[in-house]
């Protein structure tokens, strides 16, 4: 009899290849996991509205989104962790002085505090998403689960030093995610495991990016993609092939789930 396991998959660079397509072997592997009765979930930096089609396509209703700040199990929210509005306001004012745009993301959408900027076009464009709309005061009226600072890498240290109560995770040469200090995919997964009633030793996770490092080290079986960052590979117990070389399928075979 198969013992039910729980497997989390990152999206970009893990489920999606470089062209934002799902390799056929990945689609088949996830379907087979579900047929065998395992819990399959997503763990992503994306907000809900950015991967609704993907959830429907793969039949996945549980996910850790916004890098752990908003967690849903079987379609029902079970955890949320917004950024403090006063801190976000100070961050916005500081970033404006440096000509660094700021974005505010909740479950329904993303707003930016400037109407147009090349940094936003380049970084958000790499995800093949619609350009966010402009609303400079959005964060004052709504909960922000994840912010973004659009800035070059050489400016990163300034923010890290000034805001020790926040966490900054670089995902693009011109953009980094901003989370509450305790925010991470690992924390979000821990919250879902409380609902599932399982220990992390029975949990597997696939990822490739810097925002996957804590997750890969937290779960019992972390699997880094062959195309992953060096830090992700170092944190993982296993390294599989490139996403475009059947990485997920090969990784699942590696750990005995297929």
Q: Which domains does the chain have, with CATH numbers?
A: 6-80+183-254 (3.40.50.1000), 85-180 (3.30.1240.10)
**How far apart are alpha carbons 78 and 83 in whole angstroms?**
17
Going by DSSP bridges, is the β-strand pair 110-112/102-105 parallel, antiparallel, or unpaired? antiparallel
Q: Report the pLDDT value the prediction gives residue 97, as an integer from 0 to 100.
A: 97
* pLDDT bracket for residue 157 (50, 70, 90): very high
pTM here is 0.90
Verify whether residue 10 is a known catalytic residue.
yes
Q: Report the pLDDT value the prediction gives residue 131, as an integer from 0 to 100.
A: 81
Residue 42 — φ and ψ, nearest 5°? Answer: -110, 145
* pLDDT bracket for residue 129 (50, 70, 90): confident
* pLDDT bracket for residue 2 (50, 70, 90): low
Catalytically annotated residue among 10, 12, 48, 208: 10
Q: Report the pLDDT value the prediction gives residue 136, as an integer from 0 to 100.
A: 92
Residues, the chain: 258
Q: Mind listing the pLDDT tens digit for each residue in 208-251?
A: 999 999 999 999 999 999 999 999 999 999 999 999 999 999 99
- pLDDT, the chain, mean: 95
Contact 210, 220 (CB under 8 A): no
pLDDT exceeds 70 at position 1: no
What is the C-alpha R_g of the chain? 18
Of the candidates 154, 212, 215, the one whose C-alpha atom is nearest the C-alpha of residue 190 is 215
Mean pLDDT, range 113-133, rounded to an integer: 89
| 101, burial (CB in 10 Å: exposed 0-12, middle 13-18, buried 19+) | buried
């Amino acid at each position: 009899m198969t013992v039910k396991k729980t497997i989390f998959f990152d999206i970009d660079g893990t489920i999606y290849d470089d062209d934002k397509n799902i390799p056929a072997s990945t689609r088949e592997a996830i379907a087979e996991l579900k047929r065998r009765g395992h819990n399959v979930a997503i763990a992503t930096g994306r907000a809900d509205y950015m991967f609704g089609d993907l959830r429907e396509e793969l039949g996945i209703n549980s996910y850790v989104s916004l890098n752990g700040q908003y967690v849903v199990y079987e379609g029902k929210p079970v955890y949320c962790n917004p950024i403090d509005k006063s801190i976000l306001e100070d961050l916005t004012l500081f970033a404006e002085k440096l000509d660094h745009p700021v974005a505010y993301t909740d479950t329904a959408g993303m707003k930016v505090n400037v109407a147009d900027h090349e940094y936003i076009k380049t970084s958000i464009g790499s995800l093949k998403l619609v350009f966010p709309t402009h609303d400079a005061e959005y964060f004052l009226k709504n909960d922000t689960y994840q912010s973004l600072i659009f800035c070059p890498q050489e400016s990163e240290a300034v923010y890290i030093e000034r805001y020790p109560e926040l966490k900054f995770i670089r995902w693009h040469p011109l953009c980094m995610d901003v989370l509450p200090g305790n925010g991470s995919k690992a924390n979000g997964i821990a919250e879902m495991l409380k609902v599932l009633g399982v220990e992390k030793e029975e949990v597997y996770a696939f990822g490739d990016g810097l925002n996957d490092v804590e997750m890969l080290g937290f779960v019992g079986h972390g699997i880094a993609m062959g195309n992953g960052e060096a830090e992700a590979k170092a944190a993982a117990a296993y390294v599989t092939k490139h996403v475009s070389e059947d990485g997920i399928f090969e990784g699942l075979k590696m750990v005995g789930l297929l």
